[in-house]
């Protein structure tokens, strides 16, 4: 894959030598193994190093690296475990650079930092594509299988999926482990740890994704890790605030499910939401921000002038100030058949994982906004046909012009104007849908293996009712205090709201990032006025 395995220049190797030490590695020794944490950044100076993916049978060769290549992937920068194993093929000499020293080096040479980060991001995608990481065994019709796969995909964690209905290896592997099909889905990590239908928090703890809060009180707790929350984390941590980020599902929020963001400043060729999120997480961690995922906020209360966020797992997190960046959640449709088939083939995002699950079959996208347009274009590259259903007759009404024009030029996308979803048919998964013309009532039966519902959203604020002032639609009101310049502060002193969850906000990635950054400045003002800085 282009960009995954660049060679460093002699000058770059010489510069890195000031931050690391040379080390000899005899043939057959491992520089790191699958599941290792806190590894050094290795540059190969002499010899060959092979990289292997652990499988249920024989290890699979991923790559062979020679002089001036470097090892590792995004895990080195995010604190997650390594998902592959690196073995010295002969007598190898490497330059071992501790990660904290690597951060010093890339400050001196930003071009090198961008080269390494880009390679790590591409390698993570490559590892996900080949099924590195842990194994998930279950039925594609199981709601819990879908939940676990969705959690892994949303957090960009590589895994291999073994389908009990289609993969002959799956049943044999379960038999060897003494696990009955009724105990699935099962997660296997490093061939040693076997979890039977784990919760998201249990899975996150197993692979090192979830960090427990490490302080009695943080300067700043950020609830929500979408673009607004990530921007607040970067600016808060970089300006010396002890910052904790909580998110119930994954970093990146809804933006991370976007296959391509083409109108974000500075990325003329576009950038995927997942890459934007990963870059922001690495940046925030570099400055010292802590992440707890999943970490779902359930309550917010004032205790002696401090804000206490209660989590669903019973833990409390105390903060001098809180930034609410919980964003919005997708709306569901009240359509016959949706509840029954939602766990198997009804989706509320269109990422690489969902595209793979659809397997090249025809799909239906419901919605007329930018999210639906991006999903239709993305899915058209994988599906045999995409049916885009909009309630009105003008594709350009609620969708950016560049998206609407591109959809009209894409042969695999058929737009159904003035229609709505009437029914989903199928026994255990969607087989077809009924589309109904809103004016005439005429119905059309359309073959479809999946339905993507992208029909708007509502704020994630039910947990704040009675504690923070909300508007009629449930969005958080801001600018209601007398504090000078506190346009993002709620009626609770020290509690700010940014991004999509804020009443009156512009629902765009760029504006969310701007609000997240601006809120940190207001947090500083609040802490100073309260005598806490």
Residue pLDDT, tens place only, 327-341:
998 888 999 999 899
CA atoms of 40 and 232, how far apart (whole Å): 29
pLDDT value at residue 1: 46
Residue pLDDT, tens place only, 166-222:
888 888 888 888 888 788 999 998 877 899 999 999 998 887 777 666 678 999 999
Residue pLDDT, tens place only, 403-462:
999 999 999 999 999 999 999 999 988 999 999 999 999 999 999 999 999 998 899 999
Residue pLDDT, tens place only, 42-93:
999 999 999 998 776 678 899 999 999 999 989 998 878 899 999 999 999 9
Query: Which tokens in the block code for residue 197?
Result: 């239908």
Other beta carbons within 10 Å of 40: 21
Residue pLDDT, tens place only, 275-314:
999 999 999 999 999 999 999 999 999 999 899 999 998 9
pLDDT value at residue 213: 67
Q: Which residues of 460-491 are buried (b: 16+ CB within 10 A; e: fewer)?
A: bbebbeebbebeeebbbebbebeeeebebbbe
- Where along the chain do its domains lie? 10-129, 134-206, 218-329+457-529, 338-453
CA atoms of 51 and 414, how far apart (whole Å): 44
Q: What is the CATH number of domain 338-453?
A: 3.50.50.60
Query: Which tokens in the block code for residue 66?
Result: 């020679």
Sheet holding 159-163, edge to edge: 159-163, 134-138, 186-189, 193-196
Homologous superfamily, domain 134-206: Glutaredoxin (3.40.30.10)
- pTM of the shown model: 0.88
Domains 218-329+457-529 and 338-453 share a fold: yes
Other beta carbons within 10 Å of 12: 20
Q: How far separated are the first and last CA of the chain, in Å rounded?
A: 48
Homologous superfamily, domain 10-129: Jelly Rolls (2.60.120.10)
Question: In this structure, which topology does domain 218-329+457-529 adopt according to CATH?
Answer: FAD/NAD(P)-binding domain (3.50.50)
Query: Which tokens in the block code for residue 22?
Result: 């040379």
């Amino acid at each position: 894959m282009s960009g995954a395995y660049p060679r460093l220049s002699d000058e770059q190797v010489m510069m890195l030598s000031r931050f690391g030490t040379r080390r000899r590695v005899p043939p057959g020794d491992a520089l790191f193994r699958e599941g290792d944490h806190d590894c050094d950044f290795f540059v190969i100076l002499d010899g060959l190093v092979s990289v292997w993916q652990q499988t249920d049978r024989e290890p699979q060769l991923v790559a062979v690296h020679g002089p001036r290549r470097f090892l590792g992937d995004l895990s080195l920068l995010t604190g997650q475990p390594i998902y592959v194993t690196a073995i010295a093929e002969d007598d190898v000499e490497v330059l071992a650079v501790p990660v904290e020293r690597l951060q010093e080096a890339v400050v001196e040479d930003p071009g090198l930092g961008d080269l390494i980060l880009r390679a790590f991001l591409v390698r993570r995608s490559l590892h996900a594509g080949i099924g590195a990481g842990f194994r998930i065994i279950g039925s594609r019709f199981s709601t819990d299988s879908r939940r676990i796969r969705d959690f892994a995909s949303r957090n960009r964690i590589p895994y291999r999926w073994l389908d009990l209905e289609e993969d002959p290896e799956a049943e044999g592997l379960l038999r060897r482990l003494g696990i009955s099909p009724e105990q699935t889905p099962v997660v296997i990590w490093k061939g040693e740890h076997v979890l039977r239908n784990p919760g998201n928090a249990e899975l996150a703890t197993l692979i090192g994704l979830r960090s427990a809060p490490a302080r009695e009180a943080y300067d700043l707790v950020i609830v929500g890790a979408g673009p607004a929350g990530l921007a607040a984390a970067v600016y808060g941590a970089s300006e010396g605030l002890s910052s904790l980020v909580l998110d119930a599902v994954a970093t990146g929020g809804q933006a991370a499910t976007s296959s391509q963001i083409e109108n974000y400043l500075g990325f003329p060729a576009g950038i995927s939401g997942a890459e934007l999120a990963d870059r922001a997480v690495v940046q925030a961690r570099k400055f010292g921000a802590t992440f707890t995922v999943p970490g779902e906020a359930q309550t917010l209360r004032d205790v002696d002038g401090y804000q206490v966020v209660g989590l669903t797992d019973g833990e409390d997190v105390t903060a001098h100030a809180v930034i609410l960046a919980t964003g919005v959640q997708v709306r569901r449709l009240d359509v016959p058949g949706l509840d029954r088939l939602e766990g198997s083939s009804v989706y509320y995002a269109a990422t690489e994982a969902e595209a793979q699950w659809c397997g090249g079959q025809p799909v239906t996208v419901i919605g007329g906004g930018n999210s639906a347009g991006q999903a239709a274009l993305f899915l058209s590259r994988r599906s045999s046909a995409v049916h885009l259903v909009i309630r009105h007759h003008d594709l350009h009404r609620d969708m950016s012009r560049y998206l609407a024009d591109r959809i009209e030029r894409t042969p695999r996308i058929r737009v159904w104007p003035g229609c709505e979803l009437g029914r989903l048919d199928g026994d255990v998964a969607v087989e077809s849908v009924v589309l109904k013309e809103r004016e005439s009532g005429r119905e059309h039966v359309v073959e479809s293996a999946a339905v993507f519902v992208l029909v708007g959203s509502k704020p994630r604020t039910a947990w704040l009712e009675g504690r923070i002032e909300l508007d009629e639609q449930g969005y958080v009101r801001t600018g209601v205090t007398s504090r000078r310049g506190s346009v993002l502060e709620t009626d609770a002193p020290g509690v700010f709201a940014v991004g999509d969850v804020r009443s009156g906000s512009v629902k765009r990635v760029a504006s969310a990032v701007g609000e997240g950054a601006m809120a940190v400045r207001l947090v500083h003002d609040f802490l100073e006025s309260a005598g806490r800085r």
